[in-house]
Structures are given as C-alpha cells and as structure tokens.
Amino acid sequence: MSELRDECGVAAIYHLPSDQVSPLCEGFGADQASQLIPRMLLDIQNRGQLSAGITSFDPTRDQLIDTHKEIGTVSEVFRLSHRRAAQELMQEYAGRAAIGHVRYATCGLDDRSYAQPFERHHLQRRKWFSFAFNGQLANFRELRERLLSDNDHHLARETDTEIIMHEISREVSGDREPQLIELMHNISQRFDGAYSLVLLNSRGDMLVARDPLGIKPLCYAKEGPLFAAASESVALLNLGFQAENIHSLEPGCAVTISNGEFRLERFASSGRRAHCFFEWIYFANVASTLDQQSVYLSRTALGVELAQMEKKSGQVTIDSDTIVVPVPDTSKAAADSMAFELGVPSREGLIRNRYSGRTFIEGGSSRRNKAKAKYTPLPEVLAGKRIFLVEDSIVRSTTMKALLGRIREIGQVKEIHVRVACPPIIAPCFYGIDMSTVDELFAPGFLKGGNLTQEVQQEMADALGADSLQYLPVPAIARAIGYDREDLCQACITGEYPTEFGQRLFKIALEQSGQSDTGQRTYEPLPVTGSAR
C-alpha cells in the first residue's frame, strides 16, 4: 500500500471571542491559537508528506491573513527540530484563527506554488481569503474549460485547487456579498466530486465544509470558546478535546464563524452517503473514529473476515510452523485479528524503515529499489515458516513483488500465502486517491472483466511470486466497517461511482485502457505538468 496515497489533509482552529482563554491555549493565549495547527497537522501527516502550510488571521497586523507553506514534512516546514526557529515562525504567524494543510501530489511538480493553503489577495477584505481542501473534483476538466471559454481568463496551474479558488472569487465578485453558507451552497451546485474544505478570510470569518456525499472525512469539536476541525478525529483528541465533544461533520453541512458567531448549518441536500471505504481500510490513522465508526475496530473486523474465509477454503495447512505477518503498519490490526481467530501467532517478521524516503514519488526501477529498502525481513522470525502475509490492498503490485522477493531471499520462508483485506482494485479513483487509469492497476489485467475465481487468484499469486493469494469479497467491506453498502463509495472495487462525472470518467478510462503508455491521467485531455491537491 505504499504505492497508494491519499492527496491531503486539512485542519482549522478558532478561539472565539470570550473573557476566558481555552485551557488548550494555556501558555500562549487566545490570540496565538494558531500555534495548535502544527500539532494537528502532525497527527494527519499520514495524509500527505510532500508539503505543509498554514494561514492565520490577526486583525492587528498589516497582513490580516498571512500564509506560510513550503515543500517538506510538517516538522521541516514548521522547523520543529529547532525550538527557537519554530517559536519565531509561529510568533510571526500568530493569530486567533488559522487553517492548515498537508499535501501529497499524485503527479506534477514538487513546487511550493502547488502547496496549500491557497491565498487570494484583494483590496476589499471580504474578497481577500485563503482556503485548503482535501479531495478532487471529477468535473475538473469541464469547470476548467468553462473558465477559459471567453479567452479572457487564465489558469496558472493544472489543479482543481485553483479552480475552486476562482469559483469562490466569482461568488464575492462585484457588489455581491453572500453569507459564507450561501457562498458554499452556490459553488457546491457546480462541483461534482469529493471535498472537505476550510476557508479563512481577512475579516476573520471561517468556513469548514464537507461535500454532500461525505466522501472525504471531516471532524470537528468545540469546547468553550475553542473550535477546531481536522480531516481525522485523532488530531482533535490529541489536542485535548474530550472524545464526547468530537463529531464527524455531516455531509452537506458546514460550520461558519462570522463576527465571532459560531453556527452549524446545511448548505446542500444529502440524499445518500458515499463515505470512502479506503479511509477505514488504509488511509486514516488507526486511532481515528470517522462517521461514528472506529478505524481500529473496522480493521480488526477485516481480520475476522480473512480468518473465516481461510477456514472455509482450507487451502493452507495450519500447524505449528504457520504464522501471520502483517505488512507494516496499517495491516497490523487485521493481521492480529486473523491470527487470533486461526489460533496461530502474529509476528512482526517485517520491520519498516521509516526513514527510507517517499517511494511513491519515484518511478520505474528507482521506485522498486526504494520499495526493497523500505522493509527488512527478519530470518529469525520467518525462516522455515509458512506465512500468511496480510496486506491492506494491492494496487499496482510494484511494492508487493519486491517485498515477496526479499522475504524469500532473506527471510528463508517455507511458503508465502498473501491475504488481502480488501477486494481487487478494478477501477480508478476520481475523488482524491492516487490511481486514475485502468492500466496502472494490477487486477484488471487478470480479471479481464470476469469474475474473481480461484484460478485467477492463483495466476495473480504466480505473477507476484507467492504460493497463493486470496482477496476479501466486496460484501465483507460493509460488514467490517458497519455501514450499508449503499452508504459507502466502493467505486474502485465495483466500478459503480456515486456521482455523474465519476461514472463518465470511468467510461473514458475503460475506452483508453491499453491505448496509451504516456502515464496521462484519465481526466487530463492533454499532456500537462500535473495536478496537485
């Protein structure tokens, strides 16, 4: 799963006007609540390691809202390894309100200009704003063409972040002065896709909104005068909010703060839910709870599903030489649960090198070589063993092939049986996950539009270098997460997309399959420098 990346995470903090200072701001005060943003971003660093940034609001400085963003991890961008430098930086960007962002780009430039938040300066305070978002607009191409259709507009970047910035700007152009909830309602009518969005303007007004389908997660908490929001609940819990005060923002709803007044409002109707199931399977921090469902318990339930499948198939001999080995780190809960149900040990036979670099940015042989360096097999644990290797998913197979080779070479195992806590990925994602074409996926070339039979899974195992391979069936996902299938976005494992433009792009992706090796993404009509969120 190191081949698969979500595209970013967002955070927001606001100390509302009050005679009391929130206990969470003790030591620096309400007017420096922005100091909490780096701490929050560290907890959602799993959602993006390419860049990080902050925009803060302070009515007493010339730069009413001011943005700091750079390429690098949260620690690098906010200089957290150097106490004095970090303190000086946060003093410069002190404010009672702030938004933050961590980014991973699916392709394109490692360029500061693509980092978020995006700030738009303007002479009028209501038109001077900064925002950040997590997700992707499936109708990006159509929105872009519409903006450029009159030959009087220009877009500097190939990114839907810039599209959103211009759509927001349209709503406040001229003499129009909509309330934030009205602004969000209007732009949502033009958006098809996934987005969790945070916005801050130079009046000190804040907007925190989640798309009508709730595809991307967004959590919030309010205790006394302090409000905070983040892509995942763990960022709020570790900040010090009580668990009972942490909630998932309902799809189609927004928190607005204007003139110091906090309001929770609906900006769009929400006839159904389409929560991204991969949040529970892989992306989210295992300590998070999203939409009332624990990530840890969901992954534990996946392990039970794997064990039940194994008992039913009887494919592998289970004896004193059999162990379960997770691929670190996110498959550990499922692996431990599977091992418990089977009555065999769960052993960490693979040690992850956390400082090996971001292999998902690399391509070709470089990517494969870094994948080999990412995990160290332990022969003391693996030698002579029959192992169930538990993985979250297999997307492109680059890492899995390299990993299996190292396990055989160094680990000296007897047998390797790969068990995947997810069905085969058969379709691209157009809502913010780094897989946008059919040809880059591992499974479609074997399935060829047919069913997942035992014979097909064995062909896959042979191609990977495993003795056997088994995926979970699609119904197991909803059971493990605790949601009805209709309330989840499972497009990448079913080919059924929850939005019109998602389905359109899948049709294009199928038509383009096997016709090009340019690496161009489905929603890019022409070669471009890349998209970033």
Structure tokens at 532: 């970033």
Q: Return the sign of the alpha-carbon dihedral for residues 508, 510, 514, 520.
A: positive
Based on the fold, state whether residues 300 and 268 are members of the same structural domain: no
Answer whether residue 91 is part of any domain: yes
Query: What is the model's pLDDT at position 67?
Result: 97
Query: What is the model's pLDDT at position 110?
Result: 60
Answer whether residue 187 is part of any domain: yes
Which residue bears the tokens 């928190």?
255
Q: Is 292 exposed, middle or buried (0-12, 13-18, 19+ CB in 10 A)?
A: exposed
Would you write out the chain's pLDDT as a tens digit for each of its 533 residues?
444 444 699 999 999 999 999 999 988 999 999 999 999 999 999 998 899 999 999 999 999 999 999 999 999 999 999 999 999 999 999 999 999 999 986 444 567 878 999 999 998 999 999 999 999 999 999 998 888 887 777 777 778 888 999 999 999 999 999 999 999 999 999 999 999 999 999 999 999 999 999 999 999 999 999 999 999 999 999 999 999 999 999 999 999 999 999 999 999 998 899 999 999 999 999 999 999 999 999 999 999 999 999 999 998 999 999 999 999 888 999 999 999 999 999 999 999 887 665 443 344 455 556 666 788 999 999 999 999 999 999 998 988 999 999 999 999 999 999 999 999 999 999 999 888 899 999 999 999 989 999 999 999 999 999 999 999 999 999 999 999 999 999 999 999 999 999 999 999 999 988 875 545 566 554 333 334 34
Structure tokens at 27: 């030591």
Structure tokens at 400: 């899995």
| Residue of 70, 51, 208 lying closest to 133 (CA atoms) | 208
Query: What is the model's pLDDT at position 533?
Result: 43
Answer whether residue 521 is part of any domain: no
Number of structural domains the chain divides into: 2
Answer whether residue 428 is part of any domain: yes
Catalytic residue selected from 8, 253, 422, 489? 8
Of 274, 303, 323, the residue at which a domain comes to its end is 274
| Residue of 373, 285, 270 lying closest to 329 (CA atoms) | 285
Question: Active-site residue 8, yes or no?
Answer: yes
| Residue of 24, 97, 33, 22 lying closest to 59 (CA atoms) | 97
Based on the fold, state whether residues 260 and 327 are members of the same structural domain: no
CATH of residue 412's domain is: 3.40.50.2020
Of 246, 274, 302, the residue at which a domain comes to its end is 274
Residue ranges of alpha helices (H) inside 96-248 are 140-148, 160-171, 180-188, 233-237
Containing structural domain, residue 315: 294-353+364-497
Query: What is the model's pLDDT at position 362?
Result: 41
Q: Is 493 exposed, middle or buried (0-12, 13-18, 19+ CB in 10 A)?
A: buried
DSSP state of 346: B
Query: For 193, left (φ over 0), alpha (ψ -120 to 50), or beta?
Result: left
How far apart are alpha carbons 362 and 358 in whole angstroms? 8
Based on the fold, state whether residues 228 and 194 are members of the same structural domain: yes
Type of residue at 324: V
Based on the fold, state whether residues 424 and 475 are members of the same structural domain: yes
Query: For 404, left (φ over 0), alpha (ψ -120 to 50), or beta?
Result: alpha
Structure tokens at 261: 């007044």
Answer whether residue 196 is part of any domain: yes
Query: What is the model's pLDDT at position 363?
Result: 42
Answer whether residue 523 is part of any domain: no
CATH of residue 65's domain is: 3.60.20.10
How far apart are alpha carbons 117 and 475 in whole angstroms? 38
Residue ranges of alpha helices (H) inside 332-363 are 332-342
